[in-house]
Amino acid sequence: MVQFDYDIDNFMSDCQLRDLRPKTMQSYEQSLRIFEKYMVDVQQVTEASAVKEEHIKEYIQYLRNRGKYTVVANEQSRKSNTPQNRPDLNKPISETTINNYLRNMKVFFNYLFENHYIKKNPFSRIKKKLTNEHKAVGFISDEDFRNLIQCFDKSKFFEYRDCTIIELIMDTGMRIGETLLIELSDVDMVRRSIYLPPENTKGKKGRMVFFSAEMGRNLKSWLQFKDRYRDSDYLFCTNNGKPVQVNDFERNFRMYASRIGLKKAHPHMLRNNFAKRFLLNGGDIYTLSRLLGHSSVTVTEKAYLDLNEEDLRVNYVPYSPLARMMHKKAY
């Protein structure tokens, strides 16, 4: 075990003490173990304190030159994940993926520097080396969404449940992980609100979200159906009364999407579509940021301000200064 291993273990222990989400910690560790393997095997560097700015730059080029799944943290990972069977093996690693690796590495080296494990931070002079390749949000049309909702067999418990989950995310913008952990005591049908406790949110801050009158009627119908067959404190539960797992719902969502020919579908599309529709319908970005549970408005801007020309045109028309001053309708 080299010194690099101890440094990574100390960092991961600190992440655990700070109660970071398992998904975040997994992303950190994967990025760091891959980088460690590169430093040991290619650069013959076994200590994080010996990493220099030049090593980071060379690592960026190394990733760009290698293909997908050719860079792994250890051989056991290669054996268990069988990357040789993947159709996209050896295809270029996206700039977004490389940026994610670098961002995770920067957090690690900042931690080492701030806690005096290293005297110099190799990331101190590295600005954003790569363009931030932001993919346009997958937009679900009104027709596609109606078709999606109509494809469910609501006589089946899990399909009725999943249909209601989809409607609720589209109406509130919650993350899928937050939605699946809602307990009945968190729902206020009178105020049409749901409280998300800190332990269930990504930023570890509690917040309120709100749903429409139509969603309220849908929830009431779902609860009546649910209570006939399941006794659970969770709003959405499995057959044994436990909360639905994110991976299971993601798999189900892809199955439903395939029924109507919706490609590259993912539950997060619903949150994206809520955000975009909220803005296009006249909502302000400050309120949206609070509803989404973002740490700042900047995060919301980067994630959702990708309106195309037609979006801008439609959004502009009702607010034309000249048309309003002249009391005429803009076309």
By C-alpha distance, which of 109, 118, 115 is closest to 36? Answer: 109
Instruction: Report the range of poorest mean pLDDT among 135-144, 150-159, 205-214.
Output: 135-144
Provide, rounded to the nearest whole percent, the portion of the chain with pLDDT above 90. Answer: 58
- For the chain, domain boundaries: 3-114, 142-279
Burial class (CB in 10 A: 0-12, 13-18, 19+), 329: exposed
Three-class SS of residue 188? strand
pLDDT of residue 132: 45
pLDDT for 11 beyond 50: yes
Average pLDDT, stretch 117-123? 92
Mean residue pLDDT across the chain: 85
Average pLDDT, stretch 229-246? 95
**pTM of whole model > 0.95?**
no
pLDDT of residue 131: 44
pLDDT for 310 beyond 80: no
Residue 122 amino acid letter: P
- For domain 3-114, the question of CATH label 1.10.150 is answered with yes
Distance of CA 176 to the CA centre of its chain: 9
| pLDDT bracket for residue 304 (50, 70, 90) | low
pLDDT for 171 beyond 70: yes
pLDDT for 126 beyond 70: yes
Average pLDDT, stretch 54-71? 79
By C-alpha distance, which of 123, 98, 126, 99 is closest to 109? Answer: 123
Q: What is the DSSP letter of 238?
A: -
Average pLDDT, stretch 169-193? 96
Tell me how far apart the alpha carbons of residues 268 and 173 are, in angstroms, rounded to a whole number.
9
Tell me how far apart the alpha carbons of residues 215 and 226 are, in angstroms, rounded to a whole number.
16
What fold characterizes domain 142-279? hpI Integrase; Chain A (1.10.443)
Residues 6+ apart with CB under 8 A from 283: none
pLDDT for 323 beyond 90: no
pLDDT in tens, 222-237: 999 999 999 999 999 9
Is residue 55 within 8 A of residue 43, CB to CB? The reply is: yes
pLDDT of residue 295: 84
The DSSP result for 225-238, as a single string, is: HHHHH---SBSSB-
Segments of the chain assigned E as strands: 187-188, 193-196, 207-210
Instruction: Report the range of poorest mean pLDDT among 52-56, 60-64, 276-280, 325-329.
Output: 325-329
Residue 153 amino acid letter: D
| pLDDT bracket for residue 2 (50, 70, 90) | confident
Instruction: Specify which of 134-148, 227-241, 265-279, 299-313 reaches the highest per-range mean pLDDT.
Output: 227-241
Provide, rounded to the nearest whole percent, the portion of the chain with pLDDT above 70. Answer: 80
